[in-house]
Chain A
Amino acid sequence: MLDKELRSMIGDVKDGRMDRRAFIKRLAVVGLTAPMANQILALGGVAMAQSPNAYPPTKRGGGGPLKLLWWQGPTLLNPHFATGTKDQDGSRLFYEPLASWDANGNLNPILAAEIPSVANGGLAADGKMVTWKIKPGVKWHDGKPLTADDFVFTWAYASDPATAAVSISTYAEMTVEKVDDLTIRLLFKNPTPFWANAFVGAYGCVIPKHLFADYKGSKSREAPANLAPVGTGPYKFVEFKPGDLVRGALNPDYHMPNRPYFDTIDMKGGGDAVSAARAVIQTGEFDFAWNMQVEDDVLLRLEKGGKGKTVYATGGDIEFIAINFTDPNTEVDGERSSMKTKHPILSDPNVRKALALLVDRESVKKAIYGRAGRTTANYLNGPEKFVSKNTSWEFNIEKASKMLDDAGWKVGADGIREKDGKKFKLLYQTSTNGPRQKTQAIVKQACQKAGIEVELKSVVASVFFSSDVANPDTYPKFYADIEEFQIPMTQPDPALHMRRYISANVATKENKWQGQNFPRYVNKDYDAAIAAAETETDPVKRATLYIKCNDLLWQDTVFIPVMHRLKVEAAANNLRPALSGWANETDNIQDWYREA
């Protein structure tokens, strides 16, 4: 659809010449889904549709206990110290942000009185200021009122480097000021199109000033409230045993009507994913289990006549094979995979394209991911408005062989291709993980048929994903030709996700391999598009820029996307969890209920 036409339609909706539903219908005709249409409207200045209230319980409580099973239990309950989602999930039972993301990528107000928009004056036209109105009458669990001071304090707390909060990058680049007791203002240095980051979602939880004020900065570890949270959430803290148990009880003063439904909430930790699936789906001992990293076959077997089922949430997590643009086998100034080298085989774009043709996504989906994955050619898979329609993938060994022949790689006597006396051999590394080793085997087989010798390597996850500078096997060092893993997309905005691959971010010895551009991809067009997108406040233009970035990654075959992965959870048949692929599992916990 033409940019101009879309724009005039947005204008029509804004001025009331076209109703919302008609707009969504018109877009559906050209293949755009309703959530996408909603997003376009929202970003075009039309207030976001509030999700229809699908919460039937008519009174608070009475739902009995809710038993959650997290096979890795939360180990700490301060959302600003969370290592991993398990801690965010645990903290979120007690602490709350201003808003959270629903399944369609829309903002759902929690502590906010309303979602800021251009129309209500919450969003400044230049993209440098956001005004949030706080819901009046909200109380902390200890009875003290929630005010703008708590938000200003949370910002100061998290952005202080001495606190060493994991949420620091969310808060460091901005200022938060108090307008009145129930209004705060977020001020950005540059136009910030993705304004709904601070105080939203996992890192957005606000902490009480009156309990943390003495523990800002270097004394942050000593705060008693780190272990006994006092929040505003639907459940009040009862008990915490790291890695084992988090327990909460209904908050009788909760600020949303008829919520929460459950009288108590237990989050049990430990064990493994398969037995967690069994405890929910087969025996019904628990109501909900998180992150079912279990092969689909096993889940299907458990689901036969079981007391529960698997549920899915679509986000943007992507499992991919990354290509090394530098030479991992030549050492320059004490550094392998140095920017001063070029990969002897993979620097040829046609060879990379041929390699992409050898990854059989359909088989990987069938054999491994099943319902938990979608095949894709894109690195960026959501939200809908950022997903490119210009790409496609193909599995074709003959075509790949022909491309390699044309590139000068001829099959030698031993069946392996060679060029100028050099053999076509690749080292393919990934973390030790059942599905990944299976994928490796599938890819290796296709490569062998095309005359490529692939050596497989798997590195234990705790090493592969570590930032240990001394270890040669970490993923940013990339001492291999290709490597596979998953990058989770933690926000419904691609800015952070795509920014990784700008040339300034290349992982080198100089930055102790902390740079996140591990394929060592350098493209001026990519850099320029990212720079433009970061300050572009026009949502349509901005989406176009990120789509362009995705297409560049595809054209240059920087990544071979293997699977767009969904979140897989197990839930009792009568439980109605409010899940979103763009949020943590417990991010909308106040809306969970059980059908009678």
Chain B
Amino acid sequence: MSQYVLRRLLIAVPSLLAISLVLFVVLALAPGDPFSELATNPNVPPEVQAALRARFGLDDPIYLRYVHWLNAMLHGDWGFSFVSRMDVDTLILQRLPATLYVIGSAQILALLIAIPVGVYAATKPYSLFDQVANTLAFVGFSLPTFFTGILFILIFSVTLDWLPFVYTTDIKATGIHYVLEMIRQAIMPVAVLGLFQAASMTRFVRSAMLDVIRLDYVTTARAKGLGQAKVIVKHVMRNAMIPVVTLIALQMPAVFGGAIVTEQIFRIPGIGSLLISSILSNDTPVVMAVTFVFACLVVLFNLIADVLYGWLDPRISLR
């Protein structure tokens, strides 16, 4: 097992290097520069722009900039944002709590809905429950989050005036009021995102369960006289969860990365909106750092998924 993990880790290092190189080159070749807003401003002479470019190393050749970046990164220096002139790691850490809270809750909500509904629907395929669940799931993942988001805002904020639609990081309240307010403002984004995720996940859980439920060993288990609940939970679910774990594990980076659209709609100051605004202002160090963190997370969670497979089905890690 440990050898298996070690082997996976060793593969991860060169892939991360390759990913960082590709990201860096793509960003360096992309059009636009972080000081474009200064270009239309008659108060800012071209020399200042040139000085800024030189100071921030934008005029160096790409390979040199990459080597600098890699070197700094290895020393734990993430560089600083051209736009806010703040260290990138501070910037990301500032944004992380909101993302983890909102997107994480949405992910948990999705799991809480998807697993029971998917499992139950699979045990009674083509029953009324299954058909209703299926229809809702189809509707759920056909509606994009920007649509449901705005629909929710129109219903719950504008018409009913129940919920705020601008997410505030600093609520001026303490104790229980703070907690309640935090929950209140997260209801809409969490619901929008959670229901969307739940819809596709339900379909996935259901089909994974159906695949397993028809296998001979399940019939054998039933024939031995095991109760329905025991068969489903111990024999079917454990095996059916392997593909589901893959799906969830690969979605975990998204939890950290934030849901860009949802964050924009509800003004959640998360990583996703940081990435979008940094891309728009060509703030290369931030874009580089955020995308690289994504890459690391994808690699990491792939690794975790692999290890989980080994636990769920010991045959996998032996190969």
Q: Give A residues with C-beta under 8 Å from B.
A: 65, 69, 72, 75-76, 78, 81, 83-84, 161-162, 164-170, 203, 218, 221, 226-227, 239, 241-245, 247, 264, 266, 268-272, 275, 278-279, 282-283, 285-286, 462-463, 465-468, 470-471, 473-476, 487, 490, 496-497, 499-500, 511-512, 514, 516
Contacts and interface: CB of A to CB of B under 8 A. Distances in A.
B55 A166 contact: no
5 contacts: A221-B80, A243-B273, A462-B282, A466-B31, A468-B31
A65 B172 CA distance: 10
A471 B8 CA distance: 42
Contacts of A269: 267, 269
A279 B39 contact: no
B225 interface: no
A592 B49 CA distance: 35
A167 B43 contact: yes
10 tightest CB-CB pairs across the interface, nearest first?
Answer: A244-B269, A466-B36, A514-B46, A467-B39, A242-B84, A75-B84, A462-B32, A270-B267, A271-B267, A496-B42
A271 B264 contact: yes
A287 to B, nearest CB: 12
A500 B83 contact: no
Contacts of A76: 83-86
Contacts of B55: 164, 218
B44 interface: yes
A241 B264 contact: no
B158 interface: yes
B107 to A, nearest CB: 22
B303 interface: no
A242 B37 contact: no
A72 B35 CA distance: 16
B318 interface: no
B308 interface: no
B43 A239 contact: no
A467 B47 CA distance: 12
Contacts of A474: 39
Contacts of A239: 170
Contacts of A203: 43
B164 A285 contact: yes
B35 A83 contact: yes
Contact of A497 (B42, B169, B274): B42
A315 B282 CA distance: 29
Contacts of A268: 166, 168, 267
B23 interface: no
Given A75-B83, A166-B48, A462-B32, A84 B91 contact: no
A162 B42 contact: no
Contacts of A271: 166, 264-265, 267
Interface of B: 31-33, 35-49, 51-52, 55, 80-81, 83-86, 91, 94-95, 153, 157-158, 161, 164-166, 168-170, 172, 264-265, 267, 269, 273-274, 277, 280-282
Given A166-B44, A169-B43, A244-B169, A466 B80 contact: no
Contacts of B48: 161, 164-166, 168-169
Contacts of A497: 42
Contacts of A285: 157, 164-166
A130 to B, nearest CB: 19
B149 to A, nearest CB: 10
Contacts of B49: 467, 514
B269 A245 contact: yes
A490 B273 contact: no
B288 to A, nearest CB: 17
Given A268-B168, A463-B32, A466-B39, A282 B51 contact: no
Contact of B38 (A75, A83, A500): A83
Given A161-B47, A270-B273, A69 B170 contact: no
Nearest to A69: B166
Contacts of B38: 83, 166, 467
B46 A490 contact: no
Given A227-B86, A271-B264, A465-B39, 18 more contacts: A75-B81, A83-B38, A84-B37, A164-B52, A164-B55, A166-B41, A168-B44, A218-B55, A242-B83, A245-B168, A245-B169, A270-B264, A271-B267, A462-B280, A463-B32, A467-B33, A475-B40, A500-B42
